[in-house]
Amino acid sequence: MDDQNDRSLALLSVLVLLCVVLGYASAAGASHAGGFILDLPALGGDRDGDDVLDGVDGCPDEDASGLDADDDGCIDQAADLAQVVLALELRQATERALVASAQSAARETGTLAVNRLGAFINKVQAQRGKRLDDEHANLLMSFAAHASAVLQAVR
Ligand SMILES: [Ca+2]
Ligand SMILES: [Ca+2]
């Protein structure tokens, strides 16, 4: 009888430990954009050192550190802003207004493009908490700010 109790206790301990490990794994996966999954060796190294592994890096030879709001491994550019808006699947009127604003920025170069990106950021900020939740607003504003910084760096 004692032996059986010991065995049950041991089994219970193992189960508890397993739950703790699994709980940690899912928490780690959720808290960082796939950090837990991205660390799998199958995805290879990180040639450009931007913390986006080669297997999922859209630009594996471009270090996008600090300029990559959408975590695709590519430096955020005005030309891609409209696609980022579309991917959020916003309400039609909001989407249309922001896509038009993004496209008008993408059509320009230099100071004019920077100004259009500023206008886009203002539009996003005006919709924060209304048609845009904080997560989407932050993504769009960071992306546009990065694209603007890139343009100002080349100027
Ligand atoms: Ca990379
Ligand atoms: Ca990016």
pLDDT for 135: 98
> CB neighbours of 73 closer than 8 A, spacing ≥ 6?
48, 50, 52, 56, 57, 58, 59, 60, 62, 64
pLDDT of residue 37: 53
C-alpha 80 – ligand 1 centre gap (Å): 19
Separation of CA 53 and ligand 1 centre (Å): 5
Q: For residue 1, give the 3-state DSSP assignment.
A: coil
CA 149 to ligand 2 center in whole angstroms: 13
Closest ligand to C-alpha of residue 147 is 2
Kindly give, in sequence order, each residue whose CB lies less than 8 Å from that of residue 149, ignoring residues fewer than 6 positions away: 67
Ligand 1 mean position, distance from CA 35 (Å)? 13
Query: In the prediction, which pLDDT does 31 show?
Result: 44
In the chain (155 residues long), the average pLDDT of successive 10-residue segments reads: 67 58 51 51 84 96 97 98 98 97 97 98 97 98 98 83
Question: How long, in residues, is the chain?
Answer: 155
pTM to 2 decimals?
0.72
String of DSSP letters for 75-131? ---HHHHHHHHHHT---HHHHHHHHHHHHHHHH--HHHHHHHHHHHHHHHHHHBTTT
Q: Ligand 2 centroid to 67 CA: how many Å?
A: 7
| pLDDT for the residue numbered 154 | 75
